Amino acid sequence: MGNRGILHTPERVIVRDWQVRRWIACRVEFRGRQRAIMQPQRYTELFFLDEVTALADGHRPCAECRFADYRAFQAIWRSIYPHQPAAAADMDAVLHAERRRRPFSKQTYATQIDFLPDGTYVALDGQAWLLRGSSLYRWSPEGYVERMRRPTGGQVLVLTPPSMVAVLRAGYQPGVHPSADSSTLE
């Protein structure tokens, strides 16, 4: 589950893409908290298929409900950027600059597919695909619905922010929906 602040009106109309720079990926269940979608004056809960999807959108692990994941992410961030502060607000500032060009407009970039680590999302033919091992997995809201062999060589449009790609390359192991392990995907 993700959080970017209060994005909706009391009438449940989405009016902004983000309110705060702190885009976090949370556990759906934590300490008995109850979810109530789009409560007035409460943060707008966003739901992701899995953690790699949240990372692709620029959400880092929450420091409260996912403390161990947050600390692992932060330690890797420090190893990548040893001369920069690695407090949550500092990481959020870097990620914020990489996520959107303007509200509701995802920032993307092109690079060689051979240089991208597992856990990165790319766009092919207008679809989002997860790189994992020797395969690409096509994303859908219900799960990964198609698998194809990962191409070699050539440029792709990358959906995952550059700092998230660096964290993945350095060894962060995000959660992946079980449908990516299905042997029935073609």
pLDDT in tens, 88-115: 999 999 999 999 877 778 899 999 999 9
pTM over the 0.85 mark: yes
What are the C-alpha distances in Å from 135 to residues 2, 66, 113, 149?
27, 28, 12, 4
By percentage, how much of the chain surpasses pLDDT 70?
Answer: 98
Q: Label the pairing between strands 127-132 and 121-124.
A: antiparallel
Helix (H, G, I), strand (E, B) or coil at 57: coil
